[in-house]
Each structure stands twice: as C-alpha cells, then as structure tokens.
Structure 1
Amino acid sequence: MRSRYRSIERSSEIKFRVIVVVLVVVVVVVVVVVVVVVVVVEIVIVVLAVVIVVVEVVSVAVVVVVVVIVVVVVVVAVVVVVVAAAAAVVVVVVVVEVVVVVLAAIVIVVVVEVGVVVVVVVVVVVVVVVVVVMEV
C-alpha cells in the first residue's frame, strides 16, 4: 500500500511539475509575443514620426517657395512701377525741354525780327534825315 501511495504521490508530483513547466512556457511565450508586439508598435510609431517630419519639411519648403515667388513678384511689380514712373518723368522732362527750346526759338526769332525792323526803321530814318538835311 505504501508503494502504491508513493506511486500516486510521484505521479501527482510529476503532473504538478509538468503543469508548472507548461505554465512557465506559456508565460514566456506570452511575454515574448507582447515584447514583439511592443517593438513592432514602437517601430511603426518611429516610422510615422519620420513621415510626419518629412511632411512638415515638405510643407515648410512649399511655404518658402511660395514666399520667394511672392517676394519676386512684388519686387518685379515695384521695379516695373519705378521704371514706369522714371519713364514718365523722362517723358515730362523731354516735353518740357522741347517746349523750352521751341519758346526760346520763338523768342530768338522775334528778337531778331524786331532787331531787323528796328535797324530798318533806323536806317530809313537816317536816310530820310540825311535826304532832308541835304535838300535844305
């Protein structure tokens, strides 16, 4: 009887050890699976973070390009306005110069004609005076 009791006890002990080993293996497998899942999730998070950084860099680059284009357009517009204003000033100056030259020419012509008329009148008066004086 004793041997039978020992045999049952041994069998129970072996069953207990098998259960403990199976439980340890299950726990280890679960822990390994959890660790693998956590590592995969962390890798996915890192990849998503890299994608977000790349998207941010691209969006900043797009904003910089748009700002540069706007600045270039504004600078070109300002240059065009300044050139147009300068051209308008040049046109006004040229017109004023032409008017001044024309008026100066008119004044010169009038002065010369008046001078010629005065000279002719003086000559006629002198001739008349000389003729009158000689007749007397």
Structure 2
Amino acid sequence: MAVREADSRLATALRYARAVQLGGTGRFTTRSGHDTCFHALADVVAIAERHPQIAAITMIRRDGQALLRHETGGLGRASWALAAERLRPYMARFSASTRRCAVCSRSTGPNWTTSPLSPGP
C-alpha cells in the first residue's frame, strides 16, 4: 500500500481509537514499530521488483485506488509509484481525518505524543 508516512500513522491511531470507541481493546502500534515497518516497505518493494518468482506487484493507495501494476521487466516502476505517492500533496480530506482522529483519541486513550508505549518525536 502506497501512503504518506503521516497518513499511515494517522490511520493506525484512528483504527485504534475506533476499536476502543466501539468497546474493543484496539491494537496500538508504537511510533517506532510503525516507522520500522513503514521505512522497510521501500526495500521490500525494490527486492520484489527484481525477484524472479514474483510476476507482478500492484501498488494501491489507501483509498483503494490502484496506482500501478508492475509486471516482470518494468524494473523500478513499483518503487517509483511508492515514492511518488508518499510525496503526493495533501488534500482537504486529510484535515477532516485529522480532526476526527483528534476528537476520538481524546476520549479513548494513548496517542502518538503521550503514550508511554510510544517514544517521543
């Protein structure tokens, strides 16, 4: 999935807050855990592009839109699509999601800046 780092963190926190708000326990991911996986994805995509047993890679945006289907021989296209999506400018929808997450997380518990599970910025 191709997504900006801030959007990825926001979605992680929002999923946690929604689960807790609905009476579940939620699955909180620490900032360092998120960042480790987020940054490793670019390396995984680059390896997958060159791997002889991987015939195709489909890059999907968070909203479900397919950005690219990389097939064997198109070296670098999936890596390029991932990088381009991570650098795509924000839209107004991002601001609305940020506000919803802030409101929801105030009443549900840990967040990226105050959780003892999460290292500071």
TM-score when normalising by structure 1 = 0.16
| Bigger Rg over Cα | 1
From the two aligned structures, give the one with the greater strand fraction.
2
From the two aligned structures, give the one with the greater helix fraction.
1
